[in-house]
A and B are shown apart, each in its own frame.
Chain A
Amino acid sequence: MIPPTCETVFALIIINKAGGLIYNKTFHEAGLNKVGTNDLLVLAGTFHGVHAITARLNPLKTAGDRTSTASASGMLNRPEPPTGLEVLESENFRLQCFTTMTGVKFLLFTDTTQANVDVTIRRIYDLYSDYVMKNPFYQLEMPVRCDMFDRKLLSYVREINNR
């Protein structure tokens, strides 16, 4: 049994580029409320929309455009494209969001004190590309049902939660 005070990864959600829920896994039951699959689908869709809005809300939008035209070295100095929500904090949990180049979102729910979540989420992305994307039977944008991915993910997260 894991003591609730230690650093814990609660759950993982993967959202495809259209806002559909393609994977969800709970690692630590006590961390988050139990949410039904239907609610989770709604939640994923909502988050997808909110994520797009947060990228548009950048208060320095106009200032950023101005600096992008000035380039010192003559090289085209393109500003970083606006990213949406990356970390969300609440009293009971912390949500890290990682968006891949293709628009797939990895949402990792952790303890509020959890450190190095970006490393963890990168590693999970590695697992995803190794065991989901390289699986010849996996259809893009469809729910992830890959045994190998499940197993590797579970053993990786268990290692973190038991640390």
Chain B
Amino acid sequence: MVVYSFYIFDRHTECVYARTWLPSDRPLSSSTGAAAGAVTNGASKPKRRDDNDNTAKLIFGTVFSLRNMVRRLGGEDDAFISYRTAQYKLHYYETPSNTRFVMLTDTSTMSMRNVLHQIYINLWVEYVVKNPLSPVEHKGGEGVKNELFELGLDQFVRSLM
């Protein structure tokens, strides 16, 4: 099982956290946003960051459309779980407060819904929501810059692979 990338979107459709574990290059972590890139990623790969930002937007659009489609067809209580193409698989989990967790993995991976749920419960709630210094809203795409959360997430995902 391989995890390619992971995204969190808040209820204002803003991407508050993005992280990739691509085997080809150095893992790059970034709290998406206009200003955050230069700090985490250095000046060497400014283009890559732009790519990442656009990818996050595309992913949100896709996930949002599919979720609405699923609700229209399957009823209000239905939930979009995942989709698969020949190259990758996208897993989706939405909390009741409309925080959305998205994970891209290889195609042979089974359902990651419980994994995303674990990330929400054990990492997001513990380290970000319960942190009094963490901003509630992320205006201007400031993003989550939380060492404990990032460390915990990295360890958790690597333990899966």
Interface residues of A (CB under 8 A from B): 32-33, 35, 39, 43, 46-47, 49-50, 53-60, 62-64, 66, 80, 82-93, 109
- Report if A60-B87 is in contact (Cβ < 8 Å); known contacts: A43-B69, A50-B66, A90-B70: yes
A82 touches B85 (CB 8 A): yes
Q: List 15 A-B contacts (CB under 8 A).
A: A39-B72, A43-B72, A46-B69, A57-B55, A57-B58, A58-B87, A59-B4, A59-B104, A60-B24, A82-B86, A86-B85, A88-B82, A88-B83, A93-B73, A93-B78
CB distance from B20 to the nearest CB of A (A): 7
* Chain A residues with CB below 8 A from B58, complex form: 53, 56-57
A93 and chain B: residue at smallest CB distance: B74
CA distance A2 to B83 in the complex (A): 28
B81 touches A89 (CB 8 A): yes
A32 and chain B: residue at smallest CB distance: B73
Tier of interface size on chain B: 20 to 34
* Chain B residues with CB below 8 A from A60, complex form: 4, 22, 24, 87-88
CA distance A55 to B85 in the complex (A): 8
A83 and chain B: residue at smallest CB distance: B86
- Report if A109-B73 is in contact (Cβ < 8 Å); known contacts: A90-B78, A92-B78: yes
- Report if A88-B80 is in contact (Cβ < 8 Å); known contacts: A57-B55, A62-B24, A109-B73: yes
- Closest 10 A/B residue pairs (Cβ): A59-B4, A92-B74, A83-B86, A88-B83, A90-B70, A92-B78, A58-B87, A63-B24, A89-B81, A87-B84
Q: Which of B7-45 contact A (CB under 8 A)?
A: 20, 22-24
CA distance A91 to B80 in the complex (A): 7
